[in-house]
Amino acid sequence: MAQNENLAELSSAGVAVWLDDLSRDRIRSGNLQSLVDEHSVVGVTTNPTIFAAAISGSDSYDDQLHALAVRKVSVEEALRTVTAADVRDACDLLAPVAQRQPGDGRVSLEVAPGLAHDTDATAAEAAHLWWLVDRPNLFIKIPATEAGLPAITETIANGISVNVTLIFSLERYKAVMDAYLAGLEKRAAEGGSLEGIASVASFFVSRVDSEIDKRLDAAGADASLKGKAGIANAQLAYQAYEEVFSSDRWKALQAQGAVAQRPLWASTGVKNPEYSDTMYISELIAPGTVNTMPEKTLMAYADHGTPGTPVQKSYDDAAGVMQAVRDAGVDLDDVFRVLEEEGVQKFVDSWDELTDSVRTELEDKA
C-alpha cells in the first residue's frame, strides 16, 4: 500500500516515525499494521498511562486476566504478564521493519516508575523485562533521573537496548549520552560485542512549553516568547548530539560496531490549542532522529504537515530564544527540576491506576 506522502517525506528527511500508543485492540484489529503499511510508522513507545487506558477500556484482556486469576498470581505478576504480552506481539509485528532498518522496528516497555530513584532496582528490573519479553527489537525505558544514569550504563553494558525517558534539560541530556557511551565502553572492556545494542534518548518537548509559558505569563513577559522554548531546547539538544557523536571517543566505539544513540522527540502532542498541531514535528526535522507521536498528532501531520526550518540551521535562533526566556526571569534549572519530578510522579500515578485496574479485573474474574 502507498505511504502517506507527508509522512514519507518526513522519513526521507531522516526522521523515524514512531507511534506513542499501544493496545491489544490496536494489534488485533490490524490498525498497527496499517499504520506501518500506510503511515510510515516504524516503532512504538508505551508508558504506564498508555497501558492504563488500554486495559481499562477493553475486554480484549479478559481471557488472559481470567487465566491469571485462576492461577492466583499476584497483581504485580499479572500486570507484567499482560503488558509484556502486548509488547512482545508488537515486537513480532515490527520484526520485518527491524530486519530492514536496524534501530527501528522497536517497541518500548518501561521499568516500574516507582524505581526511578533506585539504581540497582532499575537495572535489575530492566534485565528482568528484557528476559520476559525476549525479543531483540525491544527497548527498555529507563528514566533519566540521577539514579537512572548509572542504571543506564549498567543495562547497556549487559547488552540490553535502552530508551532513556524523561529528559528535559541539555545538562541531563549530555549526562545521558555519557551514560550510554560509558555502558558501551564497559561492555567492550569486558569482551562483549557491541553489535545489536541500540538506544534512543527521549527529549520531551511540549511539557517544556507548558511549564515555561506559565512562568512567562506570571512574569508579565513578552507574549511572543510563548510556545518557543520547547522547540528551541530540543534544537540545542540536537546540536549537543552532533558534538558527542562526532567525537574521538564515539569514533572509537563506532569502530567496534556501536551505533549512535538517536535523539527521540517525545511529548509531541500540542497541549495549547492556540499552537499549530504539527509544530513539534515540523520544527524538529533532522537526520538520525525519532519523533514519537500520539495518533492524533500523527494523523494531523499526515493531513497538513509541512517541513519547517531544518534543525541544523536553527541553533543561533534557538540559543537566542533560551537566553530571552532567562532574561524574562524564568529559572530554567527550576523548570527542568519541576518537570522531572512531575514526570516521574505522573507515571507513578498512572502505574498505581494500572495496578488498581488489574487488581479489580483479577478480583472480578477469580
Catalytic residues: 141
Using the structure block, give the residue that is written with the C-alpha cell 488498581. Answer: 356
- Short-list 236, 254, 237, CA closest to 246: 254
Quickly tell me which residue has 532522529 as its cell. 289
- Which residues are within 8 A (CB) of 159 and not within 5 positions of it... i.e. 6 or more apart? 187, 192, 193, 196, 197
CB atoms closer than 10 angstroms to residue 61: 23
3-state secondary structure of 182: helix
Q: Angle at which helices 332-365 and 170-189 pack, to 10 degrees?
A: 70
Residues 6+ positions from 119 with CB-CB distance below 8 Å:
147, 148, 150, 151, 154
DSSP letter for 281, please: H
Question: How far does Cα 228 stand from its chain's mean position?
Answer: 21
User: What is the phi/psi pair of residue 13, to 5°?
Assistant: -80, 0
Of 230, 209, 224, which is closest to residue 284 (Cα–Cα)? 230
Inter-residue contact 186 to 297 (CB < 8 Å): no
